A and B are shown apart, each in its own frame.
Chain A
């Protein structure tokens, strides 16, 4: 792989790591508030909001840490890709139903809430980074190490 390819790969990987570690830590710090943000989407029964809020931050954190450490990159990217697709579907649903809510992507009770539309664009950008990281990972290490 060229130097440029390596720079793109590591840049994408580290941006994804930073985004998902930050998201995981801020959500894990206040699970109840995050459950409230999930409830804003009105797609899950009440108690299930707590269940999802209790698991999701640790999944983001674990995948973010693996990306940071450059270990098990493709499995981590695959999990985050699927998660991101779910987020995009949820955000699209909120936009279609006309909900003016905080996306619940990062810090709970933020004074600067992110609208579903802005979050949707950000998630699409993250998808591009995930595809880039997945594709360029092949040139970084032999497949066996994944």
Chain B
């Protein structure tokens, strides 16, 4: 037993290392509480300084009554919508899209929207169901792109808030140069 016992100095080092870990957990959780909470609960977008006006998940009823905001959809709902020919729209940069994107998605970078919108409108008809996404719960580009597309005349726009991280984590197919 004695050979397995740690010296007081080593025990102290391990205790201090543990305290460092506890401190980091406390800082990380307190600074990113909303992000973590939303990721675990699957709630609406929440980034610092941004409050989502979306009250709840998309349903047939609130899609009809609240057409000015894109409704969030879960991964399961996304599957059903894709089976009905909904179109995935990647709101990230063109470079990120080239690297990797959800299989079958179209690129429409929100940061450079004006230079892509005309071509996009020629390519995708306004009666299509569109589902925007970006880099997960910490990213608001997909929601803002959804809002803009609704203003541009697209009647049925939804937001997949889990985005690329959730899609990857679920083992869904990806496309792009990095694949």
A residues near B (Cβ < 8 Å) are 30-33, 35-36, 39-40, 42, 44-47, 49-51, 54-59, 62-63, 66, 72, 74-76, 78-79, 82, 100-102, 109, 111, 113, 143, 146
CB closest residue in chain B, given A59:
B24
- Chain B residues whose C-beta falls within 8 Å of the C-beta of A57 in the assembled complex: 28
Tell me, yes or no, whether B124 is within 8 Å of chain A by CB.
Answer: no
CB <8 Å contact, A54 and B13: no
How would you classify the secondary structure of chain A's contact residues: helix, strand, loop or mixed? helix
CB closest residue in chain B, given A60:
B24
- Chain A residues whose C-beta falls within 8 Å of the C-beta of B35 in the assembled complex: 31-32, 50, 54
How many Å from the CB of A75 to the closest CB on chain B?
4
Q: How far is the CA of A55 from the CA of B162 in the complex (A)?
A: 20
A39-B168, A45-B169, A82-B17 provided; 15 other pairs, C-beta below 8 A?
A31-B138, A32-B136, A35-B138, A35-B165, A42-B171, A46-B162, A46-B165, A47-B40, A54-B36, A63-B20, A75-B16, A79-B20, A113-B178, A143-B9, A146-B13
CB closest residue in chain B, given A109:
B96
B residues near A (Cβ < 8 Å) are 9, 12-14, 16-17, 19-21, 23-25, 27-29, 31-32, 35-36, 39-40, 93, 95-96, 135-139, 162-166, 168-171, 178-179
A50 and B36 contact, Cβ closer than 8 Å, known pairs A35-B136, A75-B13, A78-B14: yes
CB <8 Å contact, A62 and B20: yes
A58 and B139 contact, Cβ closer than 8 Å, known pairs A36-B164, A36-B165: no
A55: which of B29, B96, B138 is its contact (CB, 8 Å)?
B29
How many Å from the CB of B171 to the closest CB on chain A?
7
- Chain B residues whose C-beta falls within 8 Å of the C-beta of A44 in the assembled complex: 169
- Chain B residues whose C-beta falls within 8 Å of the C-beta of A62 in the assembled complex: 20, 23-24, 27
A39: which of B24, B27, B93, B165 is its contact (CB, 8 Å)?
B165
CB <8 Å contact, A36 and B21: no
- Chain A residues whose C-beta falls within 8 Å of the C-beta of B9 in the assembled complex: 143, 146
A32 and B96 contact, Cβ closer than 8 Å, known pairs A55-B29, A79-B21, A101-B178: no
* Cβ-closest 3 pairs across A and B: A32-B138, A55-B28, A75-B16
